[in-house]
Every structure is written in structure tokens, then in C-alpha cells.
Structure 1
């Protein structure tokens, strides 16, 4: 995981809104984002979601109603959410949260395109996990 560049914006406030299922982040450069839990969950930087290289991504479905049980700090550069579906291995650096917030429209569009290509919808259940050779 790459560390922060010295010129990277850092959060000046971070608020979890459980009812509306968003994390509100205000960055030091004035940027203000409301990042949906669902977006964070389907774009989690974990190996479980991203795979171990290009083309290895695991398309996430059925995450519209995912909740956030905890948000743990990781050093002074990231947070690690624990989602209500049990997923807790993604470490979201400040840079990655900024990326999710600033690219939200493009990311949703890309997600919906990938769902369409797979013949799935946002609320389709996740397929049962087969052994995928991940050794963590």
C-alpha cells in the first residue's frame, strides 16, 4: 500500500452517517464528499475484492443495504471499515477515499456497466464462494 504523498489532502473531518449509509469526509483542500457505504464496499481495496492482479477483480453484488459496524483508524493515513456483511479486510487510505469521493459518478457508471456485462443487478446475491486459491 503506497503511503501518502506529502502534498496529499488529509481529512479534516470524517463522519459516519448510519441511517443514510454514507461517510462524510471533508478534506484539508476544502473538498467535501459523501461516500456511500455501498460504493466503498464494492470498490474495497482488499485482495478479496480486487484479486491479485488486473482482471482478477471479484464483482460485488447485493451490497445496496450494507451497513458499517466500525471504522478503525490505521496509523494516521487510513481507516479500516468493518461492514455488516462481515467484510473487514479493506484498508482505505486518505488518497483512496479522496479518489472514491472525487470519482464517484464515474465509478458508479463503471460498476453498473460491469454488472450489465455480467447479466447482474446491484441487488443480485453474491455467488457462493468457491475456493479461489487465495492463501491469506
Structure 2
């Protein structure tokens, strides 16, 4: 789901609801989704969240009150949000936003399961990153 697939629904309207912390997006197929900023942030497609390969995803916590401070277009296929916690490296394709909207219930269930497995909760502060920094070549 990296980019817009041929024949995929395209966005018709995009509204940031700052007070309720949701991104409302309507698509050409009639689907309308209200995606919480927290759900977007914890599922950011960035390497910082997803990792660089299978099993490297970083569980995001403490994001319940995250705000969307900017939303920049990326070509004709995506937007790049900047969140109030400083995260700004995820590029959300229209396909990915559609996926987030359509799969919200399952994504929240998966998140609850991962929190339980990690013996933490969604409001816990983020754990410090292990091994931060890059090796020089």
C-alpha cells in the first residue's frame, strides 16, 4: 500500500477536526472515514514506527492526546502529517488512509493486544529507544 493503486478510490474531501482530533476523509466510492489522530500516529507508515523489516515495529504509547499540527500534500497520491509530538516522517498514501479508515476496529483490537503483550497501556510514556544512533561506515 505504498502508493495509489490504479482504480482505487480517490479522496474527495479532507477535513482536520482539531477539537475532536480526527481526520475526516471522503472517497470517490462514497466511503467516509473519521480517523483519530492517535490511530494515524500509532500506525504511521514511517520506518520510525514500522521498522525497516518484519518484526521491527515499535509499539507507540502516550499518543492519545496527539494533535495534527500540519498536513502537507505529497504529489497527487498522499499527505504527510506533522504531529504535536514532533513525528513528521510518515507519508500516508490515499490507499493507506482508506485502509486505516476501513480497518479501524481491527487496528484498535490489534493495538490493545500488543499493549497487553507488552504489559503496558496506551497512555504510558514511550520507552527510551535502545541503541539509538547510527553506526559509521
| Residue 124 of structure 2 is aligned to residue 124 of structure 1 | yes
Alpha-carbon offset, residue 5 of structure 1: 1.6
Question: What is the CA–CA distance in structure 2 between the aligned matches of 1:57 and 1:9, rounded to whole Å?
Answer: 28
1:7 aligned onto 2:11: no
Residue aligning to 2:26: 26
Aligned ranges for residues 79-98 of structure 1 at < 5 Å?
Answer: 79-98=79-98
- Write out aligned runs for 1:66-85 (5 A): 66-85=66-85
2:24 maps to 1:17:
no
Alignment partners' CA distance in 2, 1:51 and 1:132: 13
- Partner SS for 2:44: coil
Gap runs ≥5 in structure 1? none
TM (norm. structure 2) is: 0.94
Identify which of structures 1 and 2 has the higher relative contact order when contacts are C-alpha pairs closer than 8 Å and 6+ apart. Answer: 2
Q: Deviations over 1:70-91 (max 9, x none)?
A: 0000001000000000000000
How far apart are residue 128 of structure 1 and its match? 1.6
- Deviation of the 1:134 alpha carbon: 5.8
3-state SS of paired residue (1:81): strand
Q: 1:43 to 1:134 in 2, by over 3 A?
A: farther
Calculate the TM-score normalised by the size of structure 1. Answer: 0.95
The ranges of structure 1 where at least 4 consecutive aligned residues each deviate by more than 4 angstroms after the TM superposition are 132-135
Measured on the aligned residues, the alpha-carbon RMSD in Å equals 1.4
Change (3 A) 1:67 1:30: same
> Counterpart in 2 of 1:54?
54
Residues 119 and 86 from structure 1, CA distance in 2 versus in 1: closer, same or farther, beyond 3 angstroms? same
- Corresponding residue pairs, total: 135
Quick one: distance in 2 between partners of 1:134 and 1:94?
Answer: 32
Gaps of 5+ in 2: none
Determine the structure 2 residue equivalent to 1:102. Answer: 102
